[in-house]
Amino acid sequence: MTEHNPSERSRPSAVGSAAMKAFAHPLRMAMYQRLIDHGSATATTLARQLDESTGQTSYHLRQLARHGFVEEDAERGTGRERWWKAAGFSVNAATMAEEPAMLPVVTTYLRTQLEQRTAALREWYARGRTESAEWIAASVDSTATVAMTAEEAREMVGELEAVADRHVTRAKEREKGEPDSRRRVRIQLDVFPLPTEPPPPGA
């Protein structure tokens, strides 16, 4: 299960095959990630950031909204321009991949997710030494490997998600106040079983 949860909702809504086909478009995924990373934006702002025309970004925002991936930011919109924000969603990629017609869509989506995570970490590693000591101390890169049952892993994931949800909700509530020293922070959690046998050399 893959989740995107930029809002205060503890459990983002699940999307189906039709929605994923609409989402798995390079520009739409790039636009969605921009909204995740930098917050609400207009079609004009996204066009400038992604070197696209406003007509293109406007069209793709409407398609994303149609399938529930983005929604209007009522607190920032005006009569002349519409502001958009990312909406949380979850994808059961394993189930979708069982549908032959969905396999290319799921493959594109998962590959893009991996590339975006890798790029974000690479950028942080390159920039980290120039950041303040305060933010360096507040960041973490931790890996642990241990033998677990599936039930134990599910229990751990549930507890970790509950902690993250609590802090995300609290941070969202504070966003409504005056701006301060807060910055957008990426939270990533990966829990998965390793292969039962080591892969062959060069694999």
Task: Name the pLDDT band for 201 (thresholds 50, 70, 90).
Answer: low
Q: Within 13 A of 202's CA, how many CA atoms are on the CB side?
A: 0
Is residue 51 predicted with pLDDT exceeding 90?
yes
Token pair belonging to 9: 């909702």
Query: What per-residue confidence (pLDDT) applies to 180?
Result: 73
Is residue 98 predicted with pLDDT exceeding 70?
yes
pLDDT of 6-21, one tens digit each?
544 444 577 888 899 9
One-letter amino acid for residue 7 of the chain: S
Task: Name the pLDDT band for 74 (thresholds 50, 70, 90).
Answer: confident
Rounded to 5 degrees, φ, ψ at 100 are -50, -40
- The CA distance from 7 to 169, in Å, is 8
Q: Which domains does the chain have, with CATH numbers?
A: 2-130 (1.10.10.10), 148-191 (no CATH)
